[in-house]
Amino acid sequence: MHNIKQNFYSMRKPLIYICIGISLLGCNNESSLKIDVANVVIPELTIDRMEEDVFKMDTAHADAAVEQLGTKYGKFFNSYLVGVLNNGGMPDSSNGNMLKRFVSDRDMRQAYLDCKKAYPDVEFLKKDFTDCFKHFKHYFPKRFIPKVVTMMSGFNYSVVTLDSTIGVGLDMYLGTKNEFYDALGLPLYKKRYMNRDDIMPDAVRGWLLNEFPYAMNKQDFLSQIVYMGKIMYASDALMPETPDTLKSQFTNLQMQYCVQNEFNVWSYFIAQKLLYTTDQAEIMKFTKDGPFTTAFSKQAPPRIGYWVGYQIVKKYMKTNPSVTLNQLMDEQDAQNILAKAKYKPGK
């Protein structure tokens, strides 16, 4: 293979939202989140296959093709050209030429064929997004439900949410053993979650991060992990039947480590006076992606701080049953959430 962009880690940097590795233990056992949404009415969902439209373009009239695609997909398509395919770099003097190079590239054409083979249709996404959006409408009746499109990102991004649209990069979900991922040199801990079943958890997390941007009143460790805890609690509310392993991107053994060591991890945070630190280097030790959390052991999953933040939020909602999901997402004071949660993990 040739000419594959060696920039996988840039895939996970924010555009408006790119699906980053925020992963927490799910809460499928939360019966309060399992609600009947059969009677919730939302507009019928259609999912446009933008990757098909792009690769069927008339390359002999590239500028005209770009104009047609822009008419169909609106502002999202321009953002796709500049921020996704061009990866936020300097704009091309001709978007038509850039798109023509993209669809003419041998590797990209093979990746497109891989996408067509893996996803001949996206009815499963239509079903899953419809159920998700019904839950969202139940909890947030005044908020807007986005459009959904599939796309090819050139191995730049997995999920992008902008201009009221969720874009799913199917080339990022071709399966753990796809040869392109090996050619890119991706580590196993990333490839493990690049499968069909990972699309919805990634998309929902990304959408929620965009829908509820960081607005905590502080930038300390506690505020950051509680914010992610809120995002994951909302994610559980929108996907109550999704397996914990998919929502967490933790192996079963990593989940067991968290449960068995919750007291020890929390005690470590307290003893090291980490809750109120604003030292981003220290915070990153417990929130960054990787094969494990080096501060503990190789058995400790990455982003374990976010997992603790989720436990705090979960306890807060259980201890304060009158608090709605909408109110939770509006709460900006992590210290208030911690205090009212009465979070004290046992040994």
Q: Which residues make Cβ contacts (< 8 Å) with residue 319, sequence separation at least 6?
A: 340, 341, 342
| Overall average pLDDT of the 97-114 stretch | 96
Q: What strands lie across the sheet with 47-49, from one edge to the other?
A: 47-49, 147-151, 165-169, 159-162
Say how far apart CA 102 and CA 82 lie, in whole Å. 13
Which residues face 147 on adjacent strands? 165
Q: How confident is the model at residue 30 (pLDDT cuts 50, 70, 90)?
A: low
Helices 123-139 and 199-211 pack at an angle, to 10 degrees, of 40
Chain center to CA of 156: 14
Find out whether 292 and 304 touch, Cβ atoms under 8 Å: no
pLDDT digits (tens, 9 = 90+) for 175-192: 999 999 999 999 999 999
User: Does the pLDDT value for residue 53 go beyond 50?
Assistant: yes
pLDDT digits (tens, 9 = 90+) for 321-342: 999 999 999 999 999 999 999 9
Say how far apart CA 327 and CA 323 lie, in whole Å. 6
pLDDT of residue 87: 62
| Overall average pLDDT of the 222-234 stretch | 97
Distances (CA, A) of 15 to 7, 162, 187, 282: 14, 9, 23, 24
What is the full DSSP assignment across 56-98?
TS-GGGHHHHHHHHHHHHTHHHHHIIIIIISTT-SPPS-HHHH
User: Does the pLDDT value for residue 2 go beyond 60?
Assistant: no
First-to-last CA distance in the chain? Answer: 52
| Half-sphere exposure of residue 91: CA atoms within 13 angstroms, side-chain side | 9
pTM above 0.75, yes or no: yes
User: Which strand (E) or helix (H) includes residue 182?
Assistant: helix 179-183
pLDDT of residue 91: 54
Lowest model confidence (mean pLDDT) among 90-99, 154-163, 329-338: 90-99
